[in-house]
Structure 1
């Protein structure tokens, strides 16, 4: 019996895993290398190419059903069909609760709908799962800006820019921008 129990537990765990969303692919090492590359990029064009590669990894869903939901959500968002986009991404998050990009994309839809509290909740979850997710950090800064929580927004934008100094949103943190560092001019 003591040999049968571990086998039964293993089979039950495998069955539960097979019925639900598998673990997302682990691209942490590759993404860390891409962060190093983007920090060393000398031109915006070079940085954009590296950023596009990052998106390929972030948008690599755990399995085919998850990929279909992610793709559908992003397609519907691009078509300004925010309701269908949200519904697809909501199903993705329910199916794959440990996949950061599902939350990040659902947050983007909420942000576009100006539902900043919902966006912030999803971005917090995305960052809990993937702390160096640059797009989620930047999105969180923009969401906090929308909520007029400027001090927090500045911190998140600074963190995002420390990972990718070429972010398109970097102008918000430049002198005169709403997320520019505060303090005395020298």
Structure 2
């Protein structure tokens, strides 16, 4: 009887150990996933030149799109982006409405819809979506530069400049940096 109990105890201990190892591995992978974007943003901020920055920027955009909770949602976002490229803004918006309803914690769904809303001239709705993007990913230089473009369009120059500076703080080689107004006595 004692031998059987030891056999069962050893089996359970082994199973518990295996489960514990799986949990540790899952936490470790999750931590790496969370910090991988941190590493990319650090590399972007310290990029030695514009060419390197563009390569890192591309990796960040891919990571944002890849963060879709399901492959189906990723495909929907990519489909909406293709529609946008074909000037089918309404079709893209309908797809992205579904994406943000199904995955409200997915920043890129909101960002892509904000871009469509901007293209449709619905600036207030676009700003609302951008606000959500920045709540989920404060370093989203695409959302920040989009927000600045809306502020410029609305004649809100001071706010546009502040937002552009925030974006350039994240991405020093951001294309829209050319729109920054150099303050007197300050080198940019």
TM-score by length of 1: 0.78
The Cα RMSD (Å) is 1.7
Residue 181 to residue 114, structure 1, CA distance change in 2 (3 Å): farther
In the alignment, structure 1 residue 118 sits paired with structure 2 residue 100 = no
The SS at the match of 1:62 is: coil
Greater percentage in helix = 2
In the TM superposition, 1:70-109 aligns within 5 A as 70-109=77-116
- Report the equivalent of 1:152: 159
Q: CA offsets, 1:73-120, max 9 Å, x none?
A: 111011111011111111101111111111100001111122211110
Structure 2: gaps spanning 5 or more residues = 1-29
1:35 to 32, 41, 59: 41
**In 1: Cα distance, 2:166 partner to 2:185 partner:** 22
Report the structure number with the largest CA radius of gyration: 2
Deviating beyond 6 angstroms after TM superposition, the runs of 4 or more aligned structure 1 residues are none
- Report the equivalent of 1:136: 143
The SS at the match of 1:51 is: helix
The SS at the match of 1:156 is: helix
1:171 to 168, 172, 178: 178
- Report the equivalent of 1:45: 51
**In 1: Cα distance, 2:182 partner to 2:126 partner:** 24
**In 2: Cα distance, 1:120 partner to 1:83 partner:** 18
- Report the equivalent of 2:76: 69
TM-score by length of 2: 0.77
- The farther-off stretch of 140-149 and 77-86 is 140-149
